[in-house]
Structure 1
């Protein structure tokens, strides 16, 4: 798309790099305005002016609260779009990139305490960043900067305690559940700045609030079913297709347009009564795993299946859910449903192909390997993370745990289910635990490696 030139009230914006593009709604670019590096955020559609005003109000709210945020350089609008121009911080790095890098726990604690202080400062100034994910924090010259004013609510008085603590819980909920080990540090740092809020809630009650926010955030996996920054969706009476834009290449198109033909020419690794699994090599050399769901059972089974969500759709959304809670699974690339109106006749889910070994064979062969305890701990942490997130896998066979470079990945997700109630989840969790135990009957040495998970019956 870039380079191109657009006009603003201060002159021509020479757009050099597209940072984000949401068709028909928003475009964010790195540009030059009067020989100055800037970030320009364009808003389109019937709500363009409203969105621009929210962005400006948010930036001004951050400034009023004393929170670092890029300088507001320019803003204008016409009948086609509205634009907000801010200073470009250079060099700058997304805090999400820092957090996902290989840093020590001590450094993570330091960052989280700094962010907790920023959040407390905003709350006391009447500012609530409702879109408080890690990518909306930038590090520049060792200072954290808050961006995306459009996600901020600005008030004239300090936030009420309920709103403040829910917003703090939302920030913690953005982090993977395994990072709840830092919860005490966040709570303590926030409490020092905003005691008037935390004295109304115990840390145990705050932990419950985080779980509520995590479950609320799960609705965002539904972005996988609509056009957005990450996904392109095409739907008609006969088909529904969702593709991750990163993989939406010319090489993928033959598989998307005619999956049956491509599958017939590819390597089939499983052929069952209701699903077929195939490894497909695309024209660019990339290998993908295609799972086709099409029942060969009787008419009644086919009819009942048509009335429910397709298994490909369930698997597709569950892959996105695992990404959200930080559990590794092969990258979801695309999902296809062949339909007749509301009735799904056949469905396909396409994932990246990962070379690895099933856990059942790895541990049976390597239980005396010096690496076995460490690998078992990683598997246990993955399963505990699943349980902590109130997510039921539904088929915890060791063949559904893939080990790639000694890192576990969870596969076969079409029976997976997320629960909101811990009480309702307990029974499902026990089914997962007992199924996992059965994997190691006859392998007492391996079962011993998983003792922490096996003996912990309650989620």
Structure 2
């Protein structure tokens, strides 16, 4: 009798497993084989279908190989073991990077041997770039982690590189831990100096950012060798300027105030860079715009940060680091949970509720349709939840604090959009009016809040954004400071005229919240902002 099987795929072992016949199927992965039920006892049966596949509780420890990890997905999670040579298996304690079918980066340890960082490649060109980049750094005496071993399978597009593991922090981690402006300027100065040394040697890091510089003791190491390319020296001025601008464009717009001293630090290494600080400032603006355009596309597709699902009657995107059984339960049918939750707002066009499941708390915003005419007018346009999702990540991109959006769901009928749901993290705090009128209830000192209001208007102007409804109730005060909420009316302006007009309205709306001494104080603090907007 022909054996029966269900198509089942376990991302931890990357093989097909025999399971009882059923109605649910998982998409067949490439290069996998079927195993009939009589081939032996099943090992590791996936117990759920979807982005958060989990192993059965009786699943034994998984042993991977270089070949099996070709089929690994974003669900790959340590601990597991991997056999890379004839010796004992390596134990994986962290997945540092995952590009399915292309590249996997792991932190490994084997008994009696120092830990290593393993980069597994499944495209020959990626391995070659990594190897060549490391060689170029070594030839120019640029500090980088030592390559312990490298291997390429000549019969298949498989390769690996082992680097010695260096205990330290990336400059991005140092930046995030610094809470003073002078500390952050010093950290950025180290990165600019390292960039200048690369340029003086004729090298360019194509994917240059703070996370690609590793601070160990008193020196800095360059990592991610695949992005290194060699050019004739002296390096072309436009190429050097744009590469340095790309580094600075990764950070909030306030770094523009530091461009002059950072450029001077660059000149201490490259005496004649061929560009001045004003040209660098213009390049930073261009690079920031280009980076946002690239990042905005990732917000609505499947990638390492987001998981996207599209069906005829439903479209959904969610942060991978937030996905789990509780959030999935909410996304399957949010309506009853909204009704049972703590209602924060009930309107014709939107309903907001705080929901709690298994100890997880979220704020869920449902965008309603008032009737057939409203449904028809919204059917072929991006939903308001779609715009809010983009607006929130734009603020985060520019360094403006706002509650993190975790998931977006749109009900659809083919190309027609219907209701939409937005799930955000629940942030504990109070509104700005309460925090300043009743300081005892404020989780943050009043003087700090007032300065953050000034900084907020300054950042909005720099980033060409306007809020559209900047009242005190839309400024949420937490222990860390102010977070901006209710982003449905947030707009990005290309020309200075409309930007200034919109921000003047925001400023007037903000000042209408206050009376007496508080209003006079805010008028004084925001006088430079008002003057800039009137110019």
Question: Which residue of structure 1 aligns with residue 328 of structure 2?
Answer: 253
User: Given that residues 310 and 347 in structure 1 are in contact (C-alpha distance below 8 angstroms), is that contact kept between their aligned partners in structure 2?
Assistant: yes
Question: Which residue of structure 1 aligns with residue 385 of structure 2?
Answer: 312
Q: CA deviation at 1:76?
A: 2.8
* Stretch of structure 1 that moved more, 86-95 or 312-321: 86-95
Q: CA deviation at 1:28?
A: 0.9
Question: Which residue of structure 1 aligns with residue 83 of structure 2?
Answer: 6
User: Given that residues 191 and 210 in structure 2 are in contact (C-alpha distance below 8 angstroms), is that contact kept between their aligned partners in structure 1?
Assistant: no
User: Given that residues 385 and 420 in structure 2 are in contact (C-alpha distance below 8 angstroms), is that contact kept between their aligned partners in structure 1?
Assistant: yes
Residues 266-321 of structure 1, C-alpha deviation per residue, up to 9 Å, x if partnerless? 222111111110100012x121000111221x433322222221111211122222
Partner Cα distance (1:80, 1:276) in 2: 54
Partner Cα distance (1:451, 1:303) in 2: 48
| Number of positions where the alignment pairs a residue of Structure 1 with one of Structure 2 | 451
User: Given that residues 511 and 519 in structure 2 are in contact (C-alpha distance below 8 angstroms), is that contact kept between their aligned partners in structure 1?
Assistant: no
Question: Which residue of structure 1 aligns with residue 49 of structure 2?
Answer: none
Question: Which residue of structure 2 aligns with residue 31 of structure 1?
Answer: 108
Question: Which residue of structure 2 aligns with residue 336 of structure 1?
Answer: 409
Q: CA deviation at 1:208?
A: 2.2
Q: CA deviation at 1:421?
A: 4.1
Question: Scaled by the length of structure 1, what TM-score is found?
Answer: 0.90
- Are residue 273 (structure 1) and residue 345 (structure 2) matched? no
Match of 1:98 among 174, 177, 183: 174
**1:44-59 correspondence to structure 2 within 5 Å:** 44=122, 48-59=123-134
- Are residue 456 (structure 1) and residue 534 (structure 2) matched? no
Greater fraction of residues in helix: 1
Question: Which residue of structure 1 aligns with residue 121 of structure 2?
Answer: 43
Partner Cα distance (1:421, 1:195) in 2: 36
Distance 1:226 1:6, change over 3 A: farther
Question: Scaled by the length of structure 2, what TM-score is found?
Answer: 0.78
Partner Cα distance (2:374, 2:450) in 1: 39
Question: Which residue of structure 1 aligns with residue 96 of structure 2?
Answer: 19
Match of 2:245 among 151, 169, 174: 169
Question: Which residue of structure 2 aligns with residue 148 of structure 1?
Answer: 224
Distance 1:420 1:162, change over 3 A: farther
Q: CA deviation at 1:155?
A: 2.2
Residues 189-230 of structure 1, C-alpha deviation per residue, up to 9 Å, x if partnerless? 1012223224x33x2332222122111111214322222222
* Stretch of structure 1 that moved more, 18-27 or 346-355: 18-27
- Are residue 327 (structure 1) and residue 400 (structure 2) matched? yes
Distance 1:450 1:388, change over 3 A: farther
Q: Tell me the secondary structure at the aligned position of residue 54 of structure 1.
A: helix
**1:138-287 correspondence to structure 2 within 5 Å:** 138-198=214-274, 200-201=275-276, 203-219=277-293, 220-283=295-358, 285-287=359-361
Q: Tell me the secondary structure at the aligned position of residue 378 of structure 1.
A: helix
Partner Cα distance (1:72, 1:226) in 2: 35
User: Given that residues 373 and 449 in structure 1 are in contact (C-alpha distance below 8 angstroms), is that contact kept between their aligned partners in structure 2?
Assistant: no
1 or 2 for the larger relative contact order (CA 8 Å, sep ≥6)?
1
Partner Cα distance (1:104, 1:354) in 2: 24
User: Given that residues 240 and 336 in structure 1 are in contact (C-alpha distance below 8 angstroms), is that contact kept between their aligned partners in structure 2?
Assistant: yes
Distance 1:336 1:81, change over 3 A: farther
Match of 1:74 among 142, 145, 149: 149
Which is greater in Rg? 2
Structure 1 unaligned blocks of 5 or more: none
Partner Cα distance (1:325, 1:103) in 2: 17
Match of 2:476 among 382, 392, 402: 402
User: Given that residues 191 and 213 in structure 2 are in contact (C-alpha distance below 8 angstroms), is that contact kept between their aligned partners in structure 1?
Assistant: no
Partner Cα distance (1:360, 1:93) in 2: 39
Structure 2 unaligned blocks of 5 or more: 1-76
Partner Cα distance (1:146, 1:330) in 2: 33
Partner Cα distance (1:211, 1:451) in 2: 30
Q: Tell me the secondary structure at the aligned position of residue 196 of structure 1.
A: coil
